[in-house]
Every structure is written in structure tokens, then in C-alpha cells.
Structure 1
């Protein structure tokens, strides 16, 4: 875990935050599009498409949230290292 006493003052790269936001938006918005998957066929083990499609999104969403978490924490860790390096450089002078 990151230590809260070290500020994250390093420059932020927007890329990881944008990717994490897109992944989270997909995980939230796609299951809300009920008319797209509100059908009976195809069935999987006798279960209508509507139900197994929703259950399929549970592990997909968990994976997307996990990837988002890893991206953001990796960027946070990088920013803390930059802040530590800058602070250490100031203390040496």
C-alpha cells in the first residue's frame, strides 16, 4: 500500500486515469442497456439469454474494476516516487 504521509505532487499522466474511467464507464453503462439483451434466445443450459448475459457481466466487471485499480495505484505509486525524488533532491542541496 502507499504511504499517506508522502504527498502525490509529481506530474500526473492522464492516460491511466482515462483508461480506468473508460473501463469503469463500460462496466456501468453496458448492463444498463436492458433493451439490447432483453431476449429469450439463445438459451444456455436452459437459462434465457437475459439471465446468463447479466451473470456473464459479473466477472467481466470484476476484471475491469481490477484493471482500473491497478492502473490508478501504479500511477499513484509513480507520482509518489517522483515526489520523493524531488523532495530528496531538495534536501541534498
Structure 2
């Protein structure tokens, strides 16, 4: 079942792949950051961004699963 929360989870997990596969967007040397060419520091920045997005996706997934279990328990209790 597709829910808004699951769409956000999917976007969080897909965004790093799209960013890294779109090479032409970062295949350049400028702007440099503390002497490191853009090509390298952009990819390293995405390591951190990917970590944060994965943590957000995990937390949303856990919250979604807890909500589903609670709804299922209520539904089973009401049907008895």
C-alpha cells in the first residue's frame, strides 16, 4: 500500500543514487573547498547527506510499522 510516509521514505533512499548517477552535475573542479576540487568534496558531502537521509527513512519506517501494529491490534479488538 502506498502512503505519503512511504513515498517520503522512498525519496530519502533514492535521492543519493540520483545525485551520484547524475555525474555531469558535479564533474568539475570548481568551486574548490579548502583546496579540494568540487568533484571530490561533493561526493563526500553526499556520504553525510546519505547517512542523514537513511536515518530519517529508518525512523519513518519504524514509526509507520508501530502505527500499523497499533491499528491492527485495534481492528482485531473491535472485531471480537
| Superposed pair shares fold, TM > 0.5 | yes
Residue 89 of structure 1: CA displacement? 3.0
Gaps of at least 5 residues in structure 1 are: 1-11
Higher relative contact order (CA 8 A, sep 6+): 1
CA displacement, residues 38-73 of structure 1 (integer Å, 9 cap, x when unaligned): 101111111111000000001101111111111111
Candidates 43, 57, 67, aligned match of 2:32: 43
Gaps of at least 5 residues in structure 2 are: none
2:59 is matched with which residue?
70
Higher helix residue share: 2
Q: Where has structure 1 moved over 6 Å in runs of 4 or more? A: none
CA distance in 2, matches of 1:58, 1:31: 10
Larger radius of gyration: 1
**What is the TM-score normalised by the length of structure 2?**
0.88
In the comparison of the two structures, how many residue pairs are matched?
A: 80
**What is the TM-score normalised by the length of structure 1?**
0.77
* 1:82 counterpart = 2:34: no
SS in 2 for 1:74: helix
